[in-house]
Amino acid sequence: MKILAVNWRDIEDPLGGGAEQHLHHILSGAVAAGHEVELVCSGYGDAPASDVIDGVRITRGGDWRFANFTLPGVVRRRLRAERRDLLIEDINKIPFYTPLYSGDVPVVAVVPHLFGRTIYRETNPLVATYVWSGEWPLPLVYRNAWFEVISPSTADDLVGRGLHRDRIETIFCGLDHERFSLDDPPLRAERPLVVCWSRLRRYKSTDVAIRAFVHIREECPDADMLVMGQGPDEPRLRALVQRLGLADHVRFTGHLPWDELVRTLHRAHVFLNPSPKEGWGLTVVEANQCGVPVIASDRPGLRDSVRDGQTGLLVPYGDARAMAQAALSLLHDRDLWACFSDAARAWAGTFSWSRCVGESLAFFERVAATGKTP
């Protein structure tokens, strides 16, 4: 197959995240399987306009802030320049509406998750309404497209918006087992170590985890917390830590190199994920691979990646005290924590990128053979 893909960013963009990792695994896997793949994405810094990464041809254009205006034109030109068997659009922000100009090329929309109304937690009402309204036309514009989603929660979201379930394929993400497994893992921290790991954006609700840590310290006064990641919400979160009198016990690590990140996870006891919505929760199973149970919001995506009562515990979204009590139930019981830790490793072991890539390519080939309409 000759595949053209479009996403806001590529795997080497410093602002890239889980969506870029997921798509790159699939696209580079397609190259390894003998397919021709080109990715159209936005530029950044001094990145070249043309590049090749793991066999994937990269065509960059414009700035990410205006990608939904500039990249459709680039995609149109690339479709005119070469015949394509499939067009893949990664919808992880505002859609590019590729079915409107894909011609007779079938479209697969890869959807980690949609914001919906959670975008109002991130930004001002004007910008949030712009993003939310960008998702609104999906059922109409993409009615003849096909969808690959990464969790049952996202599939349910699309169906709830009016899309047909028989055009949606759920394929779980993989996991870099080698990256998160260590031959010489460090011992767990002597003092209870709580971590919160995500992009520091307002909608991720990291402030809930920090407030939960206040309650954790009421019963575990020697506990420490690491906030791992970077993002525009960091100043607000730092100010919250100061107001709560936690400055001596909560440390912001910023972006950690992978080896340091993995060793930190191997030292941690629990991972707090207070997000209101995820596509899947890749960091959940990555932490699980390091033997770390996860306390998470009982919300879409997280209720798929956390096996409640086995690999972690789910609590009502926004309830800091409930999150703290769930964490304390493990911190106070070493035998229970060990059972959760073992189950977490076993659960993480069921995910592989080779399976994800294989299932994705099989789906792509079926779509390419079927065409744009059923």
pLDDT digit string, tens, across residues 173-192: 999 898 898 989 999 999 99
The token pair that represents 274 in the structure block: 């207070």
pLDDT over threshold 90, residue 335: yes
% helix, strand, coil for the chain, step of 5: 45, 20, 35
Place of tokens 């055009």: 167
pLDDT over threshold 90, residue 199: no
Q: Give the mean model confidence (pLDDT) for residues 28-35.
A: 98
Summary mean pLDDT of the chain: 93
- CATH class of the domain at 177-348: alpha beta
Q: Give the mean model confidence (pLDDT) for residues 332-351.
A: 97
According to the model, what pLDDT value does residue 342 have?
98
Q: Give the mean model confidence (pLDDT) for residues 205-213.
A: 97
Delimiting residues of CATH 3.40.50.2000 domain(s) in the chain: 2-174+352-370, 177-348
pLDDT digit string, tens, across residues 100-123: 999 999 999 999 877 766 665 666
* Strands 56-63 and 86-90, sheet pairing: unpaired
* Strands 56-63 and 50-53, sheet pairing: antiparallel
- CATH class of the domain at 2-174+352-370: alpha beta
According to the model, what pLDDT value does residue 132 have?
72
**Whether the Cβ atoms of residue 192 and residue 324 lie closer than 8 Å to each other:** no
Which distant-in-sequence residues (6+ apart) come within 8 Å of 352 by Cβ?
174, 175, 177
Place of tokens 């659009």: 89
Could you tell me the CA-to-CA distances from 64 to 40, 41, 200, 230, 328 in Å, in that order?
12, 8, 19, 18, 42
According to the model, what pLDDT value does residue 125 have?
75
pLDDT digit string, tens, across residues 279-313: 888 899 999 999 999 999 999 999 999 999 999 99
pTM of the model as a whole: 0.85
